[in-house]
Structure 1
Amino acid sequence: MKKVQQLLEWLKKHPAPALAAEPTLNAASGVDRRNFLRNSALGGLSLGLMFDGKTEQEMEFITQKVKRDSKPSELKITDLRIAVLQGVPFSSPIIRIDTNQGLVGWGEVRDGASPNYALMLKSRLLGKNPCNVEKIFKEIRQFAGHSRAAGGVCGVEMALWDLAGKAYNVPAYQLLGGKYRDHVRLYADTPEGKDYTDFAKNMELRRKQGYTWLKMDFGIQMLVNEPGALVGANGWNVRNQWSDNGAQKLGNYAQTKHPFTRIQVTPKGIDKLAQHVSKVREIVGYDTPLCADHFGHFDVNTAIQIGRAMDPFRLAWLEDLVPWFYHDQWKQISDAIDTPTLTGEDIFGKEEFIKLIDAKAVDMIHPDLASSGGLLETKKIGDYAEEKGIPMAMHFAGSPICMMANVHCAAATENFVALEHHGVDVAGWEDIVTGIKPIVEQGFVKVPDKPGLGVELNEEAAKKFLKKGATWFAPTDSWNTRDSADREWS
């Protein structure tokens, strides 16, 4: 009994995660530490004592057959709360879903989206079994729009897969049908620098970091101060592609769909863009895939002219030349140029991707899992594209929680090629979670085999990114009551 007492003393000083955190070893499942030790004393515990006082080895031995999963059929959602992180690299509302068995599921609303998109779903989740992921998704998907408006539904779906994986003690990819790969390839943006020499240094840094796929931004915003390069640009704030502010007499450039600005690029402007890409390609070399984004708002004719000028440089793709819903215009562009075309980061649901694919409008698709529908819907999108011979890259610009949701989906989808990483240069980004370290290694992420998404929020590190004025997972009782009839049919 002397060694039993030693173990009891050790447990007081070291509350082991395998005992303290596992839902089968708590009041909800009817098993506590005292009964566990008492029952084990006659069997496994006595065998464990053969390690001659090596307490760590003894505890590992006697708990090796302890059931690690919860009681999935009795699991219920009890709460949903949110903490908004800033600068990861953008604004990212983190979702925490609590359950009656102590399991916690983590999700994330898409970058730049309102946390209210998720909070309004709380009353529709309380009391439900999170393991019924697809059923719940079908019930709440009516509240998702395209782009950021899908952020709540997709973020909740991530958290449900995290909970289901933890309940059944398997990684999320396993619940999606298994994995095609052990490592997920990343592609990274590269800061341009003040000149090409500076840019070359940045590119060399990316190589040392191990990235084997790179991305650059170039477009008509680079031509604003170039005389004779643009036609019709003077009435627009061409440098500002993103903000709702700054409208001029002709309107808000950022909020005006591409064909309606009537901005054109002259041959001089086209040559200037081609010279820029030529220099970048010379720096990068031709052994590394290089894709491009953020061209500006102009019509399909200009898009074709720019695309043809880029053909000699063998770019991996040209992204979002016109809005995704102009299928006919995308087909015009794709048919007219040799460089692959790509779009999709703002599309919600497989239905719109199917239309885009069936129209043979683009060469590749580019869903953002935090907008496209979460893990399962994005896998369905990828699977449909695969049947049609279309590869899938994935857009991503959030915290490690959302990245891991992407990693599990990418692992389970055969036609996946590369996942974006927008937070490469964010100090402390990897510390936001625990469970996998390092997350990114030589431009790849190793697919984790831990339950659920494979990571837990590291509160100490994550609080450093808490948005100014935001609260840390404050109570959300005001969202508990459902106040509408949601049925979509009569």
Structure 2
Amino acid sequence: MKNFFTRANAPKPSAHTPSDRRNFLRNAGLGGLSLGMTFEKLSGRFTTEQELEFITQKVPRDSKPADLKITDMRVAVLAGVPFSSPIIRIDTNQGLVGWGEVRDGASANYALMLKSRILGKNPCNVEQIFKQIKQFGNHSRAAGGVCGVEMALWDLAGKAYNVPCYQMLGGKYRDFIRLYADTPEGKDYDDFAKNMKVRKDQGYTFLKMDFGIGMLADKPGMLVNANNWSVKRQWDEKEMGKLGNYASTKHPFTRIQITKKGLDALVDHVGKVRDIVGYDTPLAADHFGHFDVNTAIQIGRAMEPFRLAWLEDLVPWFYTDQWKQITDAIDTPTLTGEDIYLKEDFIKLIDAKAIDMIHPDLASSGGLLETKKIGDYAEEKGIPMAMHFAGSPICMMANVHCAAATENFVALEHHGVDVTGWEDLVTGMKPITDKGFVKVPDKPGLGVELNEEVAKRFLKKGGTWFAPTDTWNTKDSADREWS
């Protein structure tokens, strides 16, 4: 035992100041514990590992990443944020919790069916797990489960290693993420102008408006072949007509055309909106209705005097050749991609020079890493990336970290601007948005935690609050995609 007291960290024989006395007592205490445990070890009652664990039991540590395991996954569906958003909570054996979000309007079951595939796995192996579960995603809302789980895995990995998600994606290009918001509603143009002043006072410097053939449907002489379609019901898949369901009929197959009178009405409307918004603010456009390539080109050419930031989703994203026709025919930038899952179909559009910009929704495109890969490929080809988003602050922060880490990022959509209590859904950032921007957080993981007290107020009617999901624990099929 002589050598023990001759070590450099041995207790001093005397102490002259209060600080020295405290250090003496602390060191003596530690020495006593070590000495006691050394005797216990010699008697065979303690192992080296137990001794180390005992001595370091009060040393702060974020986690032991190598030993982190997923133990549970539960879901609570929020409504009105601004749409329905299933929030994912993934629990671990070390008490760390990861938050993710299924895309707006998608079923929570898209995520729950993945639970049996991720239980017991180390969430820090994000890409490995993603490759195992990505076969269960598809375009649009069907991707919501895979993407929501991927978000939660990154949140856990960041918390385990005590770094923000953007750092694990390679670092950040910017400290602030620019948002774009919808233009406000208005009873008439004077009312719209008043509401626009509020939007500008909120600090938004990038806007998007909706206009299209739906606003012409009840007006005589403006559309051809529209009478037998429910043109005003672009999203209502339940209403059937004699010619079929307008909402679920792909654009080229409706054979609706716009007349000169209808085109003039759209020009007049966009012109008035543009004058109120002003030309110093980028103004994009979306939701035009279901019509063919020829009508899309006519509308695109008519909008050229207003210098719109982009025309979005004029035809379905998978018609690559039609997109190229439109893009080659007009000068206003074209954009699509909010419903595309994984990078391969973005690559097809980019390589064909079919669009001017890409528009992934991270909750459909594959999550943080896949969306960064999509952005990086577009950047190499000289294509900018805007990002679509319509969910809670959980999903927004996933977008923020990805946008920070991707060089060609332009702006992120924010659909919850006018939702009362939206910013209170999480803790860790206050405010989230400031004058149309989000400061990239430096906290571990996504940088926010769900504020359960507030979030419960948004719980979907009839829904349960992170109820047990044991029925999804057991895997009941083989997943291998090859023989």
Is the TM-score greater than 0.5?
Answer: yes
Q: Deviation of residue 43 (structure 1)?
A: 6.0
- Structure 1 runs of 4+ off > 4 angstroms? 38-41, 43-46
Q: Deviation of residue 468 (structure 1)?
A: 0.3
Q: Deviation of residue 192 (structure 1)?
A: 2.7
Judging changes above 3 Å, is the alpha-carbon distance between structure 1 residues 43 and 284 closer, same or farther for their aligned structure 2 residues? farther
Distance 2:145 2:381 in 1: 30
Distance 1:345 1:428 in 2: 26
**How does 1:235-274 map onto structure 2 within 5 Å?**
235-274=228-267
* Unaligned 5+ runs, structure 1: 1-37, 47-64
* SS, match of residue 386 in structure 2: strand
2:479 to 460, 473, 486: 486
1:36-83 C-alpha deviation (Å, 9 max, x unpaired): xx999716999xxxxxxxxxxxxxxxxxx9544210000000000000
1:42 to 22, 26, 44: 26
Partner of 2:47: none
Partner of 1:305: 298
* SS, match of residue 42 in structure 1: helix
**How does 1:409-420 map onto structure 2 within 5 Å?**
409-420=402-413
Distance 1:362 1:201 in 2: 35
* SS, match of residue 82 in structure 1: strand
1:426-476 C-alpha deviation (Å, 9 max, x unpaired): 000000000000000000000000000000000000000000000000000
Amino acid at match of 1:160: L
Aligned positions, number: 436
Distance 2:72 2:294 in 1: 51
Distance 2:25 2:407 in 1: 49
**How does 1:62-461 map onto structure 2 within 5 Å?**
67-461=60-454
Distance 2:182 2:194 in 1: 14
Partner of 1:58: none
Partner of 1:20: none
Larger Rg, first or second structure (1 or 2): 2
Amino acid at match of 1:288: T
RMSD of aligned alpha carbons: 1.8
Distance 1:342 1:68 in 2: 46
TM-score after normalising by structure 2: 0.89
Judging changes above 3 Å, is the alpha-carbon distance between structure 1 residues 345 and 41 closer, same or farther for their aligned structure 2 residues? farther
1:472 to 440, 465, 470: 465
Judging changes above 3 Å, is the alpha-carbon distance between structure 1 residues 191 and 41 closer, same or farther for their aligned structure 2 residues? farther
Identical columns (%): 83
* Unaligned 5+ runs, structure 2: 1-21, 31-57
Amino acid at match of 1:475: P
Distance 2:76 2:108 in 1: 8
Amino acid at match of 2:240: A
Determine if contact 2:349/2:355 at 8 Å carries over to the other structure: yes
Q: Deviation of residue 154 (structure 1)?
A: 0.1
* SS, match of residue 97 in structure 1: strand
TM-score after normalising by structure 1: 0.87
Determine if contact 1:439/1:446 at 8 Å carries over to the other structure: yes
Judging changes above 3 Å, is the alpha-carbon distance between structure 1 residues 98 and 336 closer, same or farther for their aligned structure 2 residues? same
Determine if contact 1:319/1:343 at 8 Å carries over to the other structure: yes
Distance 1:331 1:78 in 2: 48
1:160-218 C-alpha deviation (Å, 9 max, x unpaired): 00000000000000000000000000000022311111111111111000000001000
Amino acid at match of 1:89: P
Judging changes above 3 Å, is the alpha-carbon distance between structure 1 residues 150 and 43 closer, same or farther for their aligned structure 2 residues? farther
Partner of 2:46: none
Judging changes above 3 Å, is the alpha-carbon distance between structure 1 residues 264 and 450 closer, same or farther for their aligned structure 2 residues? same
Amino acid at match of 1:315: L
Distance 2:381 2:244 in 1: 40
Distance 1:279 1:403 in 2: 32
Judging changes above 3 Å, is the alpha-carbon distance between structure 1 residues 164 and 39 closer, same or farther for their aligned structure 2 residues? farther
Partner of 1:51: none
Distance 1:201 1:45 in 2: 70
Judging changes above 3 Å, is the alpha-carbon distance between structure 1 residues 338 and 43 closer, same or farther for their aligned structure 2 residues? farther
Determine if contact 2:184/2:199 at 8 Å carries over to the other structure: no
Determine if contact 1:68/1:169 at 8 Å carries over to the other structure: no
Q: Deviation of residue 245 (structure 1)?
A: 1.1
Distance 1:394 1:422 in 2: 12
Amino acid at match of 1:84: V
1:127-168 C-alpha deviation (Å, 9 max, x unpaired): 000000000000000000100000000000000000000000
Q: Deviation of residue 320 (structure 1)?
A: 0.2
